[in-house]
Amino acid sequence: MQILLNGELHATDAKTLSELCARLGFAEARIATAVNGSFIAASSREATKLAEADEIEILAPRQGG
């Protein structure tokens, strides 16, 4: 399926937000996620199903100054 990931088209066969995060290398990372503009808590990612054309935002904290 095609989704919009951080503003760019992305093809995936991930079924859940948790699965998508793991495939992108964020399985153990502290990140913030949103689907179609709604914040999704880490505890809800496994239950959050993905659908064609969903808009996903994944934000990771940056360090430095």
For 4, phi and psi rounded to 5 degrees? -105, 115
How do residues 6-65 score in pLDDT, each as one tens digit? 999 999 999 999 999 999 999 889 999 999 999 999 999 999 999 999 999 999 887 766
Residues 6+ away with beta carbon under 8 Å from 12: 1, 3, 5, 20, 23, 50
Global confidence as pTM = 0.91
- Domains of the chain as residue ranges with CATH: 2-59 (3.10.20.30)
pLDDT at site 16: 98
For residue 4, what is the DSSP state?
Answer: E
For residue 17, what is the DSSP state?
Answer: H
For residue 29, what is the DSSP state?
Answer: S
